[in-house]
């Protein structure tokens, strides 16, 4: 963990936390759009920015919240002989979050993510039965008022695969307390 991130965690542990920046409700739903950046080019696969999305249900208890959801992200793409091939990770995940600093309108958090899913291809492909994904990141929740908040976050994750590459995912989401 970089030194700046460690200091942010330590600072967050020392600050009194107001939960008003998170969902004031124990349960919330969130939908996000995402940009995905591969950490390396793999053979014929183009190293381009790709799109994804996710949806999750979260349970909040104090500084800690746990989400369970679905993520779909295009991870491979190339075109050959006028045939465009894409492959997307389609997976379920669990994501614990810990608020390290909070105020009346915003909260900074760190998060981990563990998921399991399949590779969905636009053409026939030789995909394994399943992939374990894991990673971590963080973000900022900005309260809009009432039950809604904007989630600006990012994560770095990898998939257990013979072509495994790391991916940086940046997301913008809307969270609504139930």
133 neighbors 89 (Cβ within 8 angstroms): yes
Residue whose structure tokens are 């700046």: 4
Q: What is the per-residue pLDDT for 137? A: 97
Residue 168 pLDDT > 50, yes or no? yes
Number of domains in the chain: 1
Percentage of residues of the chain with pLDDT beyond 90: 48
Per the model's pLDDT, the better-predicted residue between 172 and 82 turns out to be: 172
- Residue pair 128/95 in contact by the 8 Å Cβ criterion: no
Name the band, by pLDDT with cuts 50, 70 and 90, for residue 23.
low
- CA-nearest of 87, 14, 18, 93 to 50 is 87
- What pLDDT, on the 0 to 100 scale, is given for residue 42? 58
Does the pTM exceed 0.85? no
Domain of residue 84, residue span: 3-177
pLDDT tens digit sequence for 90-147: 999 999 999 999 998 999 999 999 999 987 887 777 666 788 989 999 999 999 988 9
Is residue 81 within a helix (H) or strand (E), and if so which, with residue range?
A: none
Q: How many CA atoms lie within 13 A of 163 on its CB side?
A: 15
> What per-residue confidence (pLDDT) applies to 21?
44
* Contacts made by residues 43-50, CB under 8 angstroms, sequence distance 24+: 44/78, 44/80, 45/76, 45/77, 45/78, 46/77, 46/78, 48/77, 50/74, 50/75, 50/77
Query: What pLDDT, on a 0 to 100 scale, did the predictor assign at position 62?
Result: 86
Block residue for tokens 């909040």: 60
CATH code of the domain in which 71 resides: 2.40.160.20
Query: Cα(96)–Cα(18) distance, rounded to whole angstroms?
Result: 19
Q: Which of 20-29, 55-64, 67-76, 82-91 tops mean pLDDT? A: 55-64
């Amino acid at each position: 963990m970089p030194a700046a991130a460690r200091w942010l965690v330590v600072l967050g542990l020392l600050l009194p936390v107001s939960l008003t920046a998170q969902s004031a409700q124990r349960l919330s739903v969130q939908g996000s759009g995402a940009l995905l950046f591969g950490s390396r080019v793999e053979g014929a696969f183009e190293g381009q920015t790709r799109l994804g999305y996710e949806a999750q249900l979260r349970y909040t208890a104090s500084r800690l919240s746990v989400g369970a959801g679905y993520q779909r992200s295009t991870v491979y793409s190339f075109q050959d002989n006028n045939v465009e091939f894409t492959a997307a990770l389609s997976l379920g995940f669990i994501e614990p979050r810990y608020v390290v600093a909070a105020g009346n309108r915003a909260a900074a958090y760190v998060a981990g993510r563990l998921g399991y899913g399949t590779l969905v291809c636009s053409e026939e492909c030789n995909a394994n039965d399943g992939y374990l994904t894991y990673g971590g990141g963080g973000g900022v929740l900005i309260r809009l008022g009432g039950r809604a908040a904007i989630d600006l976050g990012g994560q770095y994750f990898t998939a257990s695969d013979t072509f495994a590459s790391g991916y940086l995912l940046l997301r913008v989401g809307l969270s609504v307390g139930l």
